[in-house]
Structure 1
C-alpha cells in the first residue's frame, strides 16, 4: 500500500469543509428524498430541486465517489446507507444535523482563528450573540438545534443497556431538550416515571416528542433553570452534553444543585459526554472539544477534569461505560 504523502494529507484536511458543504447542498436540495421518489437522473433531480442540471451532475459525481450515492447518470442514481440517513422521512434521520453543520456551525467555524486567539466562542464573533441567545431568539433555531442534536445521539440507546434502572422509580433529565434520552430510558424501563426539566422555550418540543413516544402519566415536563435548582428526590438524574458547554465553576454550581437534590445516598447522576482519553489519541472527542470552543466557549474534559468538577460538588465517579461514537457514560455517586 502506498503511503500517503504529507502534501496529500494537507490537501485532504484543507478540503474537508468542501465535503461538508457538498453533503449540505444535497440535503438542502432534498436529493435523497428525490432519488427515493424515483427521480434518478441528473435532469430529473435538477427539475425536482429547481437547480441547474450541470451543477447536479457535478455534485452527484462527487457524492457518488464519496459513497453517499451509488450509480451514475446513465444507469440512474441509487441511495446508499449514507444517503438513506439523509431522507426527511427516515427514522433516525441525520438531515437536520447536516443542515445545522452546514449553516450555523459552518459559519461559526469561520471564526476559528479568532476564537483560538481570544478564548471566546467563534459563534459570538460570527453572529454577534451567544449560541444560547440565538436559540432563544430565533423562532426556528431551537427546534432545528434539538433535531440536529437528536440526529447525533445514536448512543442514547446504549444508556439503558449499560446502566441498570431496575432499582429506580423516578428519573429526571436535566436540560433534557427534546426528551429523546428520557423517552429512550422510559421505554426500556416500563415501571419508571420520568421528569424533564428545561427552559420554558424548549418544553414545547419535549412535550410533543414525549407525548408521541411515552404513555400518558409516565412523565412530566417542568420549566426551570438547572443553575438555580433541581427537582429533588429522584433515584437517577440524567445530564447529557451539558457540562461541555460550561467552565469549571459553572459546572460545580450545577453539580452542587444536583447533589443537594439527591435525598438518598443510593441516587446516581448519569453524565453523557465525550471524554478526552489520557494521551488524547481519540480524534472525535478532540474534534468536538474544538467545536465546543467555536459554539459556546465550552470544552470536552479528561477523566481527571471530570473527577475534579464532581469532587467540587460532593460527588465522585463510580464507573465509566463506553457508548457509541466515542461517547462515555459517567456514573457519579454522592461522596
Structure 2
C-alpha cells in the first residue's frame, strides 16, 4: 500500500522515495489505536512527509513564494477579513465581503482565492467563504500583529540579507548600525532608533510580544519560581524581588503577579522613556526609565529578569548589558534569569533558527547555543548555574545566572 502511494513513472508525475515510505510508517506508528498522539511529533512528521513528496518544481514554489503568503495575509488583516469570517454565522460571498471592507470585488476575489489555496480561509461553494481554525487564530489581534510586524518591519530586512552578505563578502554581521536593516529602510538609524519614529510598526511589535507565546508553554509553567526566588528572599519593605530589565510595558510582571498574587517584595519595570509611558502598572509594580547599556541603578535585587533582550544584541553589547547588572548584584543572593531561545548543537527547531535569521538581518545579533551563552557569561564575570527548558517544544528556556565568584548565601 505504501509504495502505491508514492511510486510511479516519471511521465505520470509519481515519486519514488524511500524517505517518504519511512515517514508514512512513522506517521502510522505515531497514531495508536486508542486515539492518543503526540501533537508536536505528528506535526513534524506530517511536514517532513509533505516535503519528501514534493517534486523539484513544487519545492521551488514552496520556498520562493513564501513572501506572497505574508503579504496577502497582511492585506487581509488590514481589510479585517479574518475577523468578519470568524464572527459570521454562515458563509460570506465575495460580493458581501467587498461591500463590507470597501475593496474592489475583482481584487478581493483574487485575494480570497489565494487565501483558500494556502488553507487560511475555507471555501464551501463557488464564491462562498467561511472561517477555519487558521482564520479564527488570525482574527485574534495579538496573533495578527505577528504577521503585521514581520511584513512591515522584518521581511524587508530578510529580503535585503542576500545582497548585504554578498556586499560584505559573507562576513557574520556584528554591527547594529551596519546590517541589512539600514539597507532595507534606507536609513542610518538602528531599529531601536527607528521604532519611535514609526509608531504603527512599534505598536505591532509590542502587541506581537504578547501573542507569540500562544499555544506554547509559558516559562512560569515549567520554572519553579517560588523555590528559586521566594525562598531566601530578604522580604523587607524596601527589598526588591525582581527587576524586569527592558521589560516593555510590563506583561511579564503582570503574569507573575497573576500566577503568584501573594509574592512578596517590590517589582521594578525598566525600559526606555517612550516605552515606560505606555506601561501597564499593577499593584506592587513600579516603572523606572532606564537604558540597560548604562549602570544598573537598582542594587541588590533578588532577581534581574531579561526576556528576549540579549538576542537583540551582538556579543560586545550583550557583554556590556550583563556587566552592568553584575556590578549591581549581591554575591550569594542576587541572580539573573535569562528567558531566551537556546539553539541545540543538533536538531534545532524552526522557531529558533528562523528567529536567528531575523536577528541577523535586523540587529546584526544572534540566537545562541548553550556553549555560546556560557562563553558570554564568563566574559561578564558570570556563570550559568542551571537551565530549565520547555520540554514540549524546546522553544523557550530559563537560565539562572549568578556571579562567577560567589561569597556564599547572605
Report the TM-score when normalising by structure 1.
0.89
Match of 1:206 among 263, 279, 292: 279
Aligned to 1:266: 333
Q: Does the 8 Å contact 2:142/2:208 carry over to 1?
A: no
**1:81-109 alpha-carbon deviations (Å, 9 max, x no partner):** 2222222xx4x731221111122222222
Match of 2:344, SS?
coil
Q: Does the 8 Å contact 2:149/2:201 carry over to 1?
A: no
The reply on whether 1:142 has 2:202 as its aligned counterpart is: yes
Match of 1:233 among 295, 300, 306: 300
Aligned to 2:76: 26
Deviates more, 1:188-197 or 1:288-297: 188-197
Match of 2:258 among 187, 208, 212: 187
Aligned to 1:124: 182
1:235-254 correspondence runs (5 A): 235-254=302-321
Q: How big is the shift at 1:158?
A: 1.7
Q: CA 1:67/1:11 → structure 2, altered by over 3 Å: closer, same or farther?
A: closer
Q: Does the 8 Å contact 1:174/1:197 carry over to 2?
A: yes
Q: CA 1:56/1:259 → structure 2, altered by over 3 Å: closer, same or farther?
A: same
Structure 1: segments with no counterpart, 5+ residues: none
Q: CA 1:221/1:73 → structure 2, altered by over 3 Å: closer, same or farther?
A: farther
Q: How big is the shift at 1:280?
A: 5.5
Match of 1:270, SS?
strand
Deviates more, 1:175-184 or 1:115-124: 115-124
The reply on whether 1:62 has 2:114 as its aligned counterpart is: yes
CA RMSD of aligned residues (A): 2.3
Aligned to 2:363: 296
Q: Does the 8 Å contact 1:69/1:82 carry over to 2?
A: yes
Match of 2:162 among 92, 97, 113: 113
Match of 2:352 among 285, 306, 309: 285
Q: How big is the shift at 1:299?
A: 0.9
Aligned length: 325
Q: Does the 8 Å contact 1:69/1:83 carry over to 2?
A: yes
Provide the rounded CA distance (Å) in 1 between the counterparts of 2:126 and 2:288. Answer: 55
Match of 2:138 among 77, 86, 90: 86
Q: Does the 8 Å contact 1:41/1:73 carry over to 2?
A: no
Give the greater-gyration-radius structure (CA): 2
Aligned to 2:408: none
Report the TM-score when normalising by structure 2.
0.73
**1:16-61 alpha-carbon deviations (Å, 9 max, x no partner):** 1111112112111110122234372211111122112232223222
Match of 2:142, SS?
coil
Deviates more, 1:194-203 or 1:134-143: 134-143
